[in-house]
Structure 1
Amino acid sequence: MSGFYKQERFKERLRVYPNHFLLLFLDDKLVAFVDGFCTGDADLTDDMYENSCLHDEDGDWQMIFGLNTHPDYRGQGYASKLMNCFIGQARREKRLGVVLTCKKQMVEFYSKFGFVDEGISESAHGGAVWKQMRLTFDGVEGCKKY
């Protein structure tokens, strides 16, 4: 994927659902970010990555499309801080929970936040094999149950 295409895709995501992008800066340097949109669909699909117009601010599920940390800042807890903030925001917004896909080697990391491995995802985004993981919130009032 070209850098320009990727940059344009992120600009579109920021335009459509800016409240679902968390950015972590040290001084003036962006060192990590997490993003994803909300939807009524319970599973993360490939078309969600490409079509930001599928975002539904009233959706029951917060999807995570990416958790990224600059290589020079990995292993310092920044990704965990962002995950905790993103999960907390989804709880405050009364979502049913959070859904993400990850590669097998990341399952243990996301399990630490309460995510449950649901097996191989339908997603083939980027030609990779992905595991779908879900964190379901207990006691969320006013939402459908999954």
Structure 2
Amino acid sequence: MTMQKIRTATFEDLDAIAAVEAACFPAAEAATKEEFAGRLAHYADHFWLLFEDEKLVSFVDGFVTDTPDLTDEMYADASLHDAHGAWQMIFGVNTLPEYRKQGLAGQLLRRAIADAKAQGRRGLVLTCKDRLVHYYAGFGFVSEGVSGSTHGGVVWYQMRLTF
């Protein structure tokens, strides 16, 4: 039987997080190990990790800010995190290819949504490619159209879930 566990991150998770990211995104879009080191230093408790039998197979991460829209600068500068901010940003939703289509990312998104609500946030914001707009809509996110983000040279759509 498979054992699943969800928890927030510690710095010891850095290598596993970087490996999952590299397996999920092309190099132009993937965060680097160094970027994750900065993120973990500033907001490890805003990483939601899902393990199957002790192996990291999926994670969601992002920081908190009073800025209502997700900007490219946020990906690069972890120090912009504001623990008292109104909006939980979601930077990455990652599941190893061989573990997809099992609802794992959905479990993590529901946990991130519940945590943001419990922390008194106004809601969550993420960006996604057009083919995923309907997926995030299923969790209550509403498309606000094309994002100002040009991260990785891709067209992104900003999605917002407001409590």
State whether TM-score is above 0.5.
yes
Offset of residue 114 of structure 1: 0.4
Give the secondary structure class of the aligned counterpart of 1:17.
helix
1:70 equivalent to 2:96? Answer: yes
Matched residues in 2 for 1:16 and 1:42: separation? 20
Indicate the percent of aligned positions where both proteins have the same amino acid. 56
| 1:50-105: CA deviation from partner (whole Å, max 9, x where unpaired) | 00000000000000000000011000010000000000000000000000000000
Q: Which runs of 4+ in 1 moved over 6 A?
A: none
Q: 5+ unaligned residues in a row in structure 1: which ranges?
A: 138-146
Give the secondary structure class of the aligned counterpart of 1:113.
coil
Matched residues in 1 for 2:38 and 2:101: separation? 30
Matched residues in 1 for 2:155 and 2:101: separation? 24
Aligned residues: 135
Q: 5+ unaligned residues in a row in structure 2: which ranges?
A: 1-26
**2:118 maps to which residue?**
92
**1:42 maps to which residue?**
68
Give the secondary structure class of the aligned counterpart of 1:105.
helix
Partner AA of 1:68 in structure 2 = N
1:128 corresponds, among 146, 154, 159, to 154
1:58 equivalent to 2:103? Answer: no
Matched residues in 1 for 2:54 and 2:43: separation? 23
Offset of residue 27 of structure 1: 1.1
Matched residues in 2 for 1:17 and 1:64: separation? 12
Normalised TM-score (structure 1):
0.90
**1:81 maps to which residue?**
107
Matched residues in 2 for 1:19 and 1:79: separation? 17
**1:111 maps to which residue?**
137
Matched residues in 1 for 2:76 and 2:87: separation? 18
CA RMSD of aligned residues (A): 1.1
Give the secondary structure class of the aligned counterpart of 1:114.
coil
